[in-house]
């Protein structure tokens, strides 16, 4: 079963700019990718989203991309 990858825009400064659709997708997914988990954690907490957060950035992109593909092949929904 193939998973799904959702690209979800998040606000830069004001959390009130987050859309209802973005919040829904983040709540429904199995895993959230974030460049910096330290900055995404307060936003997720604000919206009551308690999901596993996986770091994906310039310095780990090769290893992280392999893991992401594995998760998608397992049928997970990733945002």
pLDDT tens column, 22-78: 999 999 999 999 888 888 899 999 999 999 998 876 677 777 788 888 999 999 999
| Nearest C-alpha neighbor of 7 from the set 21, 73, 55 | 21
pLDDT at 21: 96
Question: Residue 8 — very low, low, confident or very high, per pLDDT cuts 50/70/90?
Answer: very high
Q: Mean pLDDT in the chain?
A: 89
Torsion over CA of 61, 9, 52 and 14, rounded to 10 degrees? 120
pLDDT at 1: 64
Task: Specify the CATH class of 4-78 in words.
Answer: alpha beta
Name, in order, each residue with C-beta under 8 angstroms of 77's C-beta and a sequence gap of 6 or more: 3, 4, 6, 28, 29, 30, 31
């Amino acid at each position: 079963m193939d998973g799904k990858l959702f690209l979800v825009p998040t606000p830069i400064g004001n959390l009130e700019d987050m859309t209802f659709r973005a919040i829904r997708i983040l709540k429904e997914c199995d895993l959230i990718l974030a460049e910096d988990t330290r900055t995404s954690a307060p936003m997720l907490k604000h919206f009551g989203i308690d999901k596993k957060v996986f770091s994906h950035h310039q310095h780990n992109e090769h290893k992280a991309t392999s893991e992401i593909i594995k998760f998608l092949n397992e049928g997970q929904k990733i945002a």
